């Protein structure tokens, strides 16, 4: 009997592989959210999917790789939100404000809402994976685009937009970095998100 997962059609093979990857990631994320990253094994993921552990390893070399892929999917939502903001037909000043406050809201809603999700994010940050660095680079590119628009429009003073984007991103780290957000969100002696964003924007105008 022919294995239905084997196909001579390359397009079908690619689609089938992607479908399996998506199923594995969806299941792994659900288990990580419920039991925690540390308490979930590759064998648990395979068992829930009704497949062998060896079959999981056809697509991912380890639980670490599965975790990396899940984090990359979560960060993709942040990047798409940033792109949407950058394309809005409003001033660069207002785009920066929305960018910062939207990223803060997304961090609170998706990375702090559930303890087990927060664990996943912390593990990723502590290991300093390339997906985190790549995400920061992509967000800086979006910020650079907005700041360059603001300089061209006369909203911000002339400066290196690349350097300015990195400085702006660093200045609002307490709004977007999950660990810092978790530490600061309920503290009365921290700047309000709106005040911090206004302060950072004023620096671009000075």
Structure confidence by residue, pLDDT tens digits, 149-168: 999 999 999 999 999 999 99
Counts of helices then strands in the chain (DSSP H, E): 11, 0
Residue 112 near residue 182, CB atoms below 8 Å: yes
Question: What are the distances in angstroms from CA 117 to CA 122, 168, 186?
Answer: 9, 27, 19
End-to-end Cα separation, the chain, in angstroms? 73
Mean pLDDT along residues 128-155: 91
Tell me the average pLDDT of the chain.
Answer: 87
**23-80 pLDDT tens trace:** 999 999 899 888 888 899 999 999 999 999 999 999 999 999 998 888 888 888 899 9
Q: Which fold has domain 10-61?
A: Arc Repressor Mutant, subunit A (1.10.10)
Are 104 and 181 in contact by the 8 Å Cβ rule? The answer is yes
Q: Where are the domains of the chain?
A: 10-61, 68-205
- Euclidean distance between CA atoms 61 and 149, whole angstroms: 43
Q: Which residue has the higher pLDDT, 13 or 188?
A: 188
Rounded Cα distance between 29 and 115, Å, is 13
Arch. (CATH architecture) of 68-205: Orthogonal Bundle (1.10)
């Amino acid at each position: 009997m022919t294995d239905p997962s084997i196909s001579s059609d390359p397009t079908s093979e690619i689609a089938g592989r992607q479908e399996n990857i998506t199923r594995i990631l969806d299941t792994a994320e659900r288990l990580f959210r419920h039991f925690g990253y540390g308490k979930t094994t590759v064998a648990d993921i395979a068992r829930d999917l009704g497949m062998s552990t060896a079959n999981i390893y056809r697509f991912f070399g380890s639980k670490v790789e599965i975790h990396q892929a899940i984090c990359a999917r979560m960060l993709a939502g942040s990047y798409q939100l940033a792109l949407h903001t950058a394309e809005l037909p409003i001033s660069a000043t207002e785009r920066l404000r929305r960018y910062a406050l939207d990223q803060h809201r997304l961090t609170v809603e998706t990375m702090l809402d559930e303890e087990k999700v927060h664990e996943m994010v912390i593990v990723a940050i502590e290991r300093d994976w390339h997906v985190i660095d790549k995400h920061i680079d992509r967000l800086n590119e979006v910020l650079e685009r907005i700041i360059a628009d603001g300089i061209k429009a006369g909203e911000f003073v002339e400066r290196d937009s690349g350097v300015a984007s990195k400085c702006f991103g660093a200045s609002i780290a307490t709004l977007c970095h999950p660990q810092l957000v978790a530490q600061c969100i309920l503290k009365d002696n921290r700047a309000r998100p709106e005040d911090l964003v206004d302060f950072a924007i004023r620096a671009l105008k000075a």
